[in-house]
Amino acid sequence: MQYKSIFIVLILGWISALIGCSKGGAACDTGLKPKIKSNGPIGNNETLSLTSSGVSAVASYAWTGPNGYTSTEAAPKITSPTRGKYVYSVTVTTTGGCTYTGSSDTIVVTGPTNACGLDSNQATLQGVVDLSFNKVIGTTGSSDYMITATNGNATITVEFPNNQPPAEGIYSIQKSTTALSNGYCRLTAKAITTAPWTTDTNSGSVYVSIDNNVTTISFCTVKFNSTEYSGDVSGAARIIWKP
């Protein structure tokens, strides 16, 4: 009878030990780490998506990252992350009480990706085909800052407010000749052999991105009109300027 009691005590002790291990003891795999995947590299006008894999029966997630970032979602999404190179970490807790921590590879967030999906450094206007710019300069005007792209056939000028080179962002086109307000630009195009082209009021916008001191101006749904041609003409361009 005494031996039976000892055997029962040993069995109970062994079961207790297993339960204890599942809460962080020897039964937890100390070499296991969750694997983090992302959709990087991305532009800072996109959404960064994070996912974790490699650990089963996950009960909770605890994400950490740059600039004090935290999340408890299984697959967090970060809208418009700041440009830079980052590492994100996650600690997962299983239903058995084990905790595992893993970190991502370095995720690169670049300057804004091209929002307009245009071919690089080209414009097409009626009467002017395959316009490629061979000279792009920036100058101050009376109240606005002008970036002018030229070649042997035509000139395109984009004006920005406050006599300062433009910051990154989207600028709505304004046809008026008065000083430009923040968030607006003025756009004109003139072909050497034809009458000047101008933009309609509030016709489209331009998208400015800056990376390593290089400014890229992309046209977004821009329409031009001219006294020489009837109706509106769509124009597409990507002007690349380095001060």
Q: Let me know: does 92 contact 52? Beta carbons within 8 Å.
A: yes
pLDDT 10s per residue in the chain (243 long)? Answer: 444 443 333 333 333 333 434 444 448 998 999 999 999 888 887 899 999 999 999 999 999 999 999 999 999 999 989 888 999 999 999 999 999 999 999 998 877 666 665 443 344 455 544 456 778 899 987 889 999 988 777 788 899 999 999 998 889 998 888 899 999 999 887 766 566 667 766 778 888 888 777 888 888 878 777 666 656 666 666 677 776
Report how far apart, in Å, the C-alpha atoms of 134 and of each of 61, 119, 213, 238 are.
53, 16, 19, 13
CB neighbours of residue 227 within 10 Å: 10
Structural domains in the chain, CATH included, are: 29-110 (2.60.40.10), 122-241 (no CATH)
pTM, rounded to two decimals = 0.54
